[in-house]
Amino acid sequence: MTKTKRLLKALQQPGVVTIVPMPEQRRLFIIGDEFLKSFEWKEVRGKALDRHGSFCMRCGRCRMDKDDAGEPVKITVDHVKPRRHFPELALDVGNLQVLCGDCNIAKGSWDHTDWRGKFVDRDEVHALFLDMRGEIERLQVALSAALEGRGIPISKKRKAKLERAQLGLPLAG
Ligand SMILES: [Zn+2]
């Protein structure tokens, strides 16, 4: 029995999953430009955006931000394992990540870097920013109070904030 025949016989055993190679025509379609215009790609692309959100998972920018050229950021859906080398994963939502145009160009089809989970959630970043801003405002109020206590003049804006703090009103706004 030849090696090929032995292999085919082994594959026919129950419980053995046969991997059917992708037909060449299908492979060429997937690695070509027409694929990106297809309904099947647009559908899975939408699923990836729903799953990850419309912001770059590498640098955190969204459409409201500016790209490296100063234009509004373009959001792209990228194949972690490139479709050129892994056509069978081209429509697998588990192989997709959201990147901005600049980060996608920087990645290239030879690169398999998975950026998922490497960037904190945008809402989390915003919450951290608000926390930090609150902390800074409390320090500024403490500084204003210390300066005033020593008879050192403070700006009108700082005075207003100090008065709000003394009345127990929120500092922001
Ligand atoms: Zn980016």
Residues 45 and 112 in one domain: yes
Q: Report CA-CA distances (Å) from 162 to 2, 95, 144, 153, 154.
A: 89, 53, 7, 13, 10
How many structural domains comprise the chain?
A: 2
What is the model's pLDDT at position 53?
85
Residues 83 and 128 in one domain: no
Q: Which domain holds residue 129?
A: 123-166
* Interval between CA 98 and ligand 1 midpoint (Å): 9
* Interval between CA 47 and ligand 1 midpoint (Å): 19
> Do the domain assignments include residue 53?
yes
DSSP symbols for 75-123: EEEEESS-TTT-GGGTT-GGGEEEEEHHHHHHH-TT-----TTSS--HH
* Interval between CA 72 and ligand 1 midpoint (Å): 12
Residues 91 and 146 in one domain: no
Per-residue pLDDT at 11 exceeds 60: yes
Residues with CB in 5 Å of ion ligand 1: 56, 58-59, 100, 103
Global pTM value: 0.57
Residues 66 and 92 in one domain: yes
* Interval between CA 107 and ligand 1 midpoint (Å): 10
* Interval between CA 89 and ligand 1 midpoint (Å): 23
* Interval between CA 23 and ligand 1 midpoint (Å): 35
> Do the domain assignments include residue 106?
yes
- Interval 85-104: pLDDT, tens: 999 999 999 999 999 999 98
Residues 148 and 105 in one domain: no
